[in-house]
């Protein structure tokens, strides 16, 4: 019978703005589908067996926490990169998203190396980009709406080997300039959407679960769930943007 291993990376250190809710959503939806799963919490200093991991979640953190986990995670970079190239699934939010890139330039001009796994870099800005955000993502056809909350000073710019997770409809996104939000490479998704993201965007949670199952070449039938509560949460998130245009879109989700 199909089953997956979900790894939660540094749960005490990377948990800004409700990011832990993403793990809760993944586990609950797996239970509702009848998909067996094992949840593994990984803490700094512990061995990470990426060969057994199917779906890795990395939340956001403050600067101190990010520096701490960055130093620890660099010990595992080669194993992490190999797993990504083989198709392991990752959702990385905010600071963890930045960490997967090439570098982060601080407001003082110092360059902090990232893991150099994703083709992107981040520069600190003078003004934080805060508020509710709505994007249209082409992970699906037709595109689906993703709604969340962003709070970041970093401006992230994508290179040619990654593609955006979505196009900003309301909010700032990666840098407030090019209307891009997040990044996708293989089965890796990086995003600035907090809030938590998955409970109010169940189609993204299901996308991650399906990819995790197929990563091990397993077969599993995902029967439709009653997502009435999740859809209401999504529509409420859209209404928080204050745009009639978004309200109309939410009625068609």
Is 69:13 a contact under the CB 8 Å cutoff?
yes
**Contacts of residue 234, Cβ cutoff 8 Å, sequence gap at least 6:** 145, 147, 200, 201, 202, 250, 253
The full DSSP string for 213-231 is HHHTT----------HHHH
Which three-class secondary structure string do you get for 129-171? EEEEEEEEECCCCCCEEEEEEEEEEEEEEECCCCECCEEEEEC
Q: Is 53 annotated in the active site? A: no
Q: Is 8 annotated in the active site? A: no
Give CA–CA dist 58/93, Å, rounded. Answer: 6
Which of 194, 207, 234, 246 is an active site residue?
194
Which of 8, 13, 53, 94 is an active site residue?
94
Please count the CA atoms within 13 angstroms of the CA of 86 that sit on its side-chain side: 17
Report the SS3 class of residue 45: coil
Where in the sequence numbering do the catalytic residues fall? 94, 194
């Amino acid at each position: 019978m199909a089953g997956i291993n979900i790894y939660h990376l540094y749960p005490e250190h990377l948990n800004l703005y409700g990011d832990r809710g993403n793990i809760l959503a993944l586990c609950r939806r797996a239970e509702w589908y009848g998909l067996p799963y094992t949840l593994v919490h990984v803490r700094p200093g512990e061995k990470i067996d990426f060969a057994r991991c199917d779906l890795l979640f990395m939340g956001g953190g403050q600067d101190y926490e990010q520096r701490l986990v960055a130093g620890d995670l660099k010990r595992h970079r080669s194993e992490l990169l190999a797993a990504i190239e083989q198709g392991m699934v990752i959702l990385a939010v905010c600071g963890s998203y930045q960490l997967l890139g090439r570098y982060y330039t601080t407001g003082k001009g110092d360059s902090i190396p990232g893991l150099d796994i994703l083709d992107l870099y981040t520069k600190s800005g003078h003004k934080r980009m805060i508020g509710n955000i709505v994007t249209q993502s082409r992970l699906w056809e037709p595109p689906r709406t993703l709604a969340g909350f962003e709070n970041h000073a970093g401006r992230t710019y994508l290179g040619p080997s990654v593609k955006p997770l979505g196009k900003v409809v309301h909010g700032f996104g990666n840098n407030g300039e090019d209307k891009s939000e997040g990044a996708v490479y293989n089965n890796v998704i990086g995003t600035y959407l907090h809030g938590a993201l998955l409970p109010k965007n169940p189609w993204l949670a299901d996308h991650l679960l399906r990819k995790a199952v197929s990563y091990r070449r397993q077969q599993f039938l995902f029967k439709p769930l009653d997502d009435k509560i999740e859809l209401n949460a999504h529509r409420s998130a859209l209404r928080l943007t204050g745009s009639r245009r978004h309200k109309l879109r939410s009625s068609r989700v």
